[in-house]
Amino acid sequence: MLKGSIVALVTPMAPDGTIDEAAWLRLLDWHLACGSRGVVVAGTTGESATLTEAEFTRLLELAVAQVAGRMSVVAGTGSSSTAATIERTALAARLGADLALVVTPSYNRPSQRGLLAHYRAVADAAEVPVVLYNVPARTAVDLLPETSLALAAHPNIIAIKEAVADKQRVAALVEGGLPVISGDDPSCCESLLAGAQGVISVAANVIPGDYARLCELVEAGEADSARALNARYAELYSFLGVEANPVPVKWLLNAMGHIGPGIRLPLVALDERWHQRGKALADALRGPVALN
């Protein structure tokens, strides 16, 4: 259920910040056509922190209906509160999500013992499989490999999205029996080659076909071809990091004509100093460099 290229989908919005449902459906259809194996609804890239429960519900309902079993629908349900995470995960299950992606609690900085207790409580209550999500650059807490492997003994915890760019860590997790999904685009090719079974990607928002192809090349054992394809997107990876995600990727998708310009406070539109660089990249992605 969790393999290959999974897009951490943006939430398209009108200039006033309201959700553009027509654009949401178009994006889902595009990713299906380009070979994405799954979509994350209401993850970090989808601006989960500013979505209301009603908006979360509507986005997930639309995604489940539009996808209709043709790719996995992963709901971002993690929060800083264990009780709230359990409630959101239960809602996702009722709405038909295939999996729950549960990020480590941010701001309150739990210990490793606290993380064990948090994830076990969520997994005990969940009616869908749970995917751990470790992204210490955002949450200020690192889910250490030994903690992740201890959690892997829980029958309802099926994988980890690991955003630490360390192929040795990926290899250790895989060798310990925990399936890994890369959560870091610049290092995802090496993570895949080290044993990760897929990637939850921001870059796949703009190059879904090539990300699907990258995963296929690794699966086929074509490491040199995978690295060559990945190297073509060094500038994209760099651009997507010039401001906080999803500011650059939403700006780029707007420049490419896929979505409107809307984004929600406290995030604001991309600073003008990056526009020329972004326009050049958007032109290149619409041209022969892109395989989508």
Catalytic residues: 133, 161
Q: Which residue, 205, 182, 124, 184, is CA-closest to 157?
A: 124
Question: How far is it, in rounded angstroms, from Cα 198 to Cα 161?
Answer: 9
Q: Which residue, 43, 5, 39, 12, is CA-closest to 26?
A: 12
Of the CA atoms within 13 Å of residue 73, those in its CB half-sphere come to 22
DSSP alpha helix (H) spans, the chain: 21-34, 53-67, 82-95, 112-125, 136-139, 145-151, 167-175, 185-193, 208-219, 223-231, 234-239, 247-255, 275-286
Asked whether the bond before 288 is cis by omega within 30 degrees of 0, the reply is no
What does DSSP assign to residue 129?
A: -
The one-letter amino acid at 47: E
- Concatenating the DSSP letter of every residue in 79-124 gives -S-HHHHHHHHHHHHHHT-SEEEEEPPPSS---HHHHHHHHHHHHH
In the beta sheet, which residues pair with residue 41? 75
Rg of the chain, C-alpha, whole Å: 18
Question: How far is it, in rounded angstroms, from Cα 133 to Cα 76?
Answer: 10
Q: Is 6 left (phi over 0), alpha (psi -120 to 50) or beta?
A: beta
